[in-house]
Amino acid sequence: MPETELKRLVAQKISINKLSSIDEIGARVNLIGTLIEKDVAGGFKNFILDDGTSHVMVGVFEEKENFMGDFEIGSSIMVIGRLRDYLGDRYVVGEIIKKIEDKNILLMRSLELKMGELKEPRNGEKIKLKIIDFVKAGDSGSGVFIEEVVKNMGRTDVESIISKMLESGELFQVRPGIVKVME
């Protein structure tokens, strides 16, 4: 019987206001913030974590009796957990939750997130990358219809973005209405 290797997903360090940009529900995230509210209801404990950019509810299914007693409102906390969605609201199911005593960790995380933002493509660049990926994936040699790209992206401004990409040479038309990626 073959052995299957289980791999744990890496938790993405992210600021709370960027949680809505993660497409994959169930992705692991690593958050640091301040506990601003806590509540215990039955076996489910939850609290609100605020990192200065936004806030998010963190839910915990924990059987330890005094689990939330360790955390006071105003405490700095690191949460590693899975991103979930309920009726359009994002929340995190906490897997690892630790109180942060060393304030230098907060400063370091702030700098890490700022450095990541400098490397991260802007929204306009992200959609261009998605268009290029879609065209490359759908191109069997003769190009991809612009209409297919527009339908797949689900945005109203895709045609104008494609026009700009044609002007800049990132895409080219092999025939009217059919584009390829410039390689």
Closest CA to 100 of 35, 14, 27: 35
For domain 12-118, the CATH architecture is Beta Barrel (2.40)
Kindly list the domain boundaries of the chain, sorted by start residue: 12-118, 123-181
pTM of the model: 0.59
Q: Which fold is adopted by the domain 123-181? A: Arc Repressor Mutant, subunit A (1.10.10)
* Neighbouring residues of 4: CB distance < 8 A, sequence distance ≥ 6: none
State pLDDT tens for residues 62-115.
665 555 657 888 889 999 999 998 888 889 998 888 898 888 888 888 888 877
